[in-house]
Amino acid sequence: MRGIEQHLNDFTARGIRPVAISVDPPEVSRNHCQKQGFTFTFLSDAQGEVIRQYDLLHPQGPGEPVIARPAEFLLDSSGTVRWVNLTENYWVRATPQQMLQAINSIP
């Protein structure tokens, strides 16, 4: 997330609007953004509807809270997924450079 914020101008210059989606309630995300200095959009998916739609539900035990697998998606203006990065490791994410390279490779 920090890398996206640091390269926000590079994304917006390419017409890309970064959006983060979290299972956290809006007030938790808002506080997190203020604390971390994030200025891009954070959305709440507290019921996990989007997480399930994109098959990102992290396997949890019965009664455990819904969480998402770490993922980055690039959607075009029609909502078509043009690039995706999925990982099982919360700490391993696509770098802004990898995302920008993916953006640049789309015709």
Distance from C-alpha of 93 to C-alpha of 13, rounded to nearest angstrom: 22
Q: Does residue 18 surpass a pLDDT of 90?
A: yes
Q: How confident is the model over 88-100, as a mean pLDDT?
A: 86
Q: How confident is the model at residue 7 (pLDDT cuts 50, 70, 90)?
A: very high
Q: Does residue 39 surpass a pLDDT of 70?
A: yes
Amino acid present at 105: S
CB 33 within 8 A of CB 42: yes
Q: How confident is the model at residue 62 (pLDDT cuts 50, 70, 90)?
A: low
Question: 């455990």: which residue's tokens?
Answer: 64
pTM of the model: 0.79
Sorted by where each starts, the structural domains of the chain and their CATH numbers stand as: 2-105 (3.40.30.10)
Distance from C-alpha of 81 to C-alpha of 71, rounded to nearest angstrom: 12
